[in-house]
Amino acid sequence: MPRSRSTPVILDSDQTARLTRISYAKSEELKRVQRAKILLMAANGASDDLIARAVDLNKNSVRNTIAKFTSMGLEGALADLPRSGKPATIDDEAKTWLKSQARAKPKDLGYERELWTIKTLTSHVHGASSKAGHKVLTNISPSKVWLILEEDEPNPQRIPFCLKRRKPGFERKIDEA
């Protein structure tokens, strides 16, 4: 015989209706659907083993969802807990400055190149960022520069030819070819 739950899951009619909608929703995240089903089944008195088999999770996941419901309520049980990790160190102002540097022509900033490479842009950012008040960018990696540039549409590193002026008669020559 399954052992009884030490803290029963008690849902009011609004919570039951909401969880039922989530459990049948086709556009809802799978995690939220599974958690909604866990809470509905637990409120109906199903054992952790039965719930785990029904939602295709292990018993610990079932117990964790019920514990989150008990301590944090319905929203806490349906949502993911914040993950650990290093907090973001590059603020939006520094990212905006970096993107503005990427949109500038290297020749205008004293370089011999017509177009930026990630390596050249990164070394430029290393040298110019502290003068511009963005010390957090002084040791930025080329891959991080790339990721920051990828955040915007259109990506400045993907459209350098659109920003250049063309020679007079360029379009005519294209049409003739």
Q: Which of 78, 103, 123 is the last residue of a domain?
A: 78
Same domain, 71 and 96: no
Average pLDDT of every residue of the chain: 85
Same domain, 105 and 66: no
Same domain, 73 and 102: no
Average pLDDT over residues 32-36: 96
Same domain, 143 and 101: yes
Same domain, 106 and 68: no
Average pLDDT over residues 55-67: 94
The four Cα atoms 21, 24, 28, 31 give a dihedral, to 10 degrees, of 100
Q: Is residue 7 part of a domain?
A: no
What's the domain range around 49?
Answer: 13-78
Q: CB-based burial of residue 101 (10 Å sphere; 0-12 exposed, 13-18 middle, 19+ buried)?
A: buried
Express as a percent the part of the chain with pLDDT over 70: 82
Q: Is residue 3 part of a domain?
A: no
Residue with more model confidence, 7 or 46? 46
Same domain, 143 and 108: yes
113 has pLDDT over 90? no
Same domain, 104 and 159: yes
155 has pLDDT over 70? no
Q: What is the pLDDT of residue 163?
A: 42
The DSSP code for 115 is S
Same domain, 21 and 59: yes
| Rounded Cα distance, 18 and 28, in Å | 12
Q: Is residue 86 part of a domain?
A: no
- pLDDT tens profile 69-80: 999 999 999 998
Confidence of residue 134 (pLDDT cuts 50, 70, 90): very high
Q: Is residue 36 part of a domain?
A: yes
Domain count, the chain: 2
- pLDDT tens profile 97-111: 998 898 888 988 888
Q: Which of 78, 112, 133 is the last residue of a domain?
A: 78
Q: Is residue 85 part of a domain?
A: no
Q: Is residue 105 part of a domain?
A: yes
Q: Is residue 2 part of a domain?
A: no
Same domain, 103 and 151: yes
Q: Is residue 119 part of a domain?
A: yes
All residues at 6 or more sequence positions from 78 whose CB lies less than 8 Å from its CB, including other chains: 22, 32, 35, 36
> Cβ of 39: how many Cβ atoms within 10 Å?
26
Is there a contact between 19 and 11 (Cβ–Cβ < 8 Å)?
A: yes
Q: What is the pLDDT of residue 162?
A: 42
Confidence of residue 64 (pLDDT cuts 50, 70, 90): very high
